[in-house]
Chains A and B, each alone.
Chain A
């Protein structure tokens, strides 16, 4: 047990783990992750595919070995922190901070100056000055005078534990998310309600305890053709009744009962209804009629019946794709029938057939579906607390230090000699400059009074 503990207290281990994580993370950015096996076999060949697959390189950030590295790093962080915390704790929560005068006196970069006044007059002056910048202050008599000790920011020694705790919070938050959350998607046609979503990994259906109604979807473009906005007008329904309405766009999701709904993609659906134009070649008259898919209508001027059979996304005409088309059928009164193709891109297509009745698409309303990302992550607030703690902790650790100041006054007859000295547990260079500045201010103080 002791040897295991020792192993995890090592900073060398931290360095090795951090560098291993950095090095291995590169692999997953070079090999595209989570694509389908066929694409991999095509890109890398059968042998490499199998080799990579053994090491989970196609989903490496979730592989056992990558997660093991993360777990080891976490253990390392936790053990190191516990190991050092007891010492730091004793230093931080001390009632009477110890000051060792000889240590300050022996420092190399102290500032000295002589004041033309008896030392007693300086005491109040200096004490007030110092107490403005330092939380703790204490004056002790020495053999030839006195010393003012002061310190501040002792607690900043704990900053690094804040950073380490924040990393642990991030991992706990991520774990909560992966156990109790989900990440799925759903495509909802305009006007329809979805009561469940699809989870990608592993593929399954997740029921929701409410419905998502897509009332409308709109995509707008800039003049350059670049997409400007994707907007879905959604309503949450409970027992068939809408309880909450909101338009969502990218960056502005809908949140309801811990579930977040994001605008993610969209697509076009086959129209349900089309307005057709029937033009009689005998009379030259054109008639407009609305037809639903699967519906049968009478053709004007007793031309028989028309059935709108289907809509296809890509129709092949003599082996060439000619795009979206409605497929219909004309049934003559004598029972014979003929299939009619109405490609949207070629409105005059049917005229070429030279029949008595020319059918063409007059207008149709394109129908869209909205693609929504639907997620639940109860761990996100733990992660966000970790984020805040991480930023604050880094700031404290890097830019705040436990600073101690000592002003030592020694009587020299009617004059006295003042020494300004200080220590800091970090950024010694900065502390030296600070001591210089404090010393200059003290000299200034003497002149003004």
Chain B
């Protein structure tokens, strides 16, 4: 039993959890809902155990470092964060349908990490540039931010479905939280994500200054994180100062998440210094 195997199992558990949340949403029976929560918690334990095992394994291999150093490890951490944030929301808002729109994202991220032929799950030693205490702070803050934005994306999609159903005709949307709650939750997640994205960019800048002698160099990954920051800053100003709400904010939140995805994956196809995040 090694961490990669455990994390592959976790992928299937998350898949099952996502399936159960969707079943709960579609069939409106309490049992799949309760099972979904338990399955998610089991998945989370597997995920957490996988991360810790991987950390220990890296020390056994003599290359000890936190499991946050490449695309595989970041995807695993990303899924774990999404699940943790989601479970907190489930406890707080007592609504499991949100799970049908957020756990699939965590499942997809894990499935991509475990199954894509381009992503190696081998534990590798650290490149000289990554040997820094800033690695942990930078990666954790960025991915907590990304996870919050992923959940905001799921909630924005729910909002867009819900607001179209003005006469409350659709039985599928009947048990969604009402639009007010969805808007508020979207906003909370974006503020949370924005604080972490800001901290992530800043820890990255401080790290860049200690590794390369500059805190900002307009490398594509830096620039795309700033583009993402601009989009969410626009959203926050539009909402707080101009009173925007509803569909426009939901669309901006979706565009913001597309920018997050591009910052995360798309930039690897562009030239730049962050290329070690690519494999």
A residues sitting closer than 8 Å to B (CB atoms) are 11-12, 14-15, 18-19, 21-22, 25-26, 28-30, 32-33, 61, 174, 183, 222, 224, 226-230, 249-253, 260, 262-264, 373-375, 377, 380, 383-384, 387, 390-391, 394-395, 398-399, 427, 429
Contacts and interface: CB of A to CB of B under 8 A. Distances in A.
Interface of B: 63, 124-125, 127-129, 131-132, 184, 188, 191-192, 194-195, 198-199, 202, 205-207, 209-216, 218, 220, 223-224, 226-227, 230-231, 233-234, 237-238, 241-242, 259, 267, 270-271
A222 to B, nearest CB: 5
Interface of B is mostly: helix
B101 to A, nearest CB: 20
B209 A398 contact: no
Which of B188, B231, B233 has the most chain A CB atoms closer than 10 A to its own CB? B233
23 contacts: A14-B234, A14-B241, A18-B233, A18-B234, A19-B234, A21-B230, A22-B227, A22-B259, A28-B223, A29-B223, A29-B267, A30-B270, A33-B218, A224-B125, A249-B128, A250-B129, A262-B212, A263-B128, A374-B213, A387-B205, A390-B198, A391-B202, A394-B195
Given A25-B223, A375-B213, A398-B195, A251 B131 contact: yes
Given A15-B237, A28-B218, A222 B125 contact: yes
Contact of B271 (A32, A253, A391): A32
Contacts of B129: 250-251
A118 to B, nearest CB: 39
A392 to B, nearest CB: 10
Contacts of B227: 22, 25-26
A251 B198 CA distance: 22
Contacts of B238: 11, 15
A22 B234 contact: yes
A319 B12 CA distance: 59
Contacts of A224: 124-125
Contacts, number: 114
Contacts of B132: 251
B237 A14 contact: yes
A61 B218 contact: yes
Nearest to B243: A11
A251 B211 contact: yes
* In the complex, the 7 A-B pairs of residues with the closest C-beta atoms, listed nearest first: A22-B230, A398-B191, A250-B128, A375-B213, A29-B220, A251-B132, A11-B241
A377 B129 CA distance: 21
Contacts of B188: 427
A228 B223 contact: no
B230 A250 contact: no
Given A15-B237, A228-B128, A25 B214 contact: no
Contacts of A28: 218, 223
A385 to B, nearest CB: 12
A61 B184 CA distance: 36
A222 B226 CA distance: 35
Contacts of A260: 213
A229 B128 contact: yes
B195 A429 contact: no
A32 B129 CA distance: 22
Contact of A387 (B202, B214, B218): B202
Nearest to B129: A250
A101 to B, nearest CB: 28
B190 to A, nearest CB: 9
Contacts of B220: 29
B191 A399 contact: yes
A251 B230 contact: no
A163 B233 CA distance: 12
Contact of A429 (B184, B226, B234, B267): B184
Given A25-B227, A399-B191, 13 more contacts: A11-B241, A18-B233, A29-B220, A29-B223, A61-B218, A226-B124, A249-B131, A251-B132, A262-B213, A375-B214, A387-B202, A398-B194, A398-B195
**Residue of A14, A224, A250 contacting most chain B CB atoms (<10 Å):** A250
A390 B202 contact: yes
Nearest to B271: A32
B62 to A, nearest CB: 10
Given A14-B237, A22-B230, A25-B230, A227 B127 contact: yes
A15 B244 CA distance: 12
A18 B212 CA distance: 28
Contacts of A226: 124-125, 127
A380 B215 contact: yes
B223 A250 contact: no
A29 B273 CA distance: 12
Contacts of B194: 394, 398
B125 A183 contact: no
Contacts of A252: 210
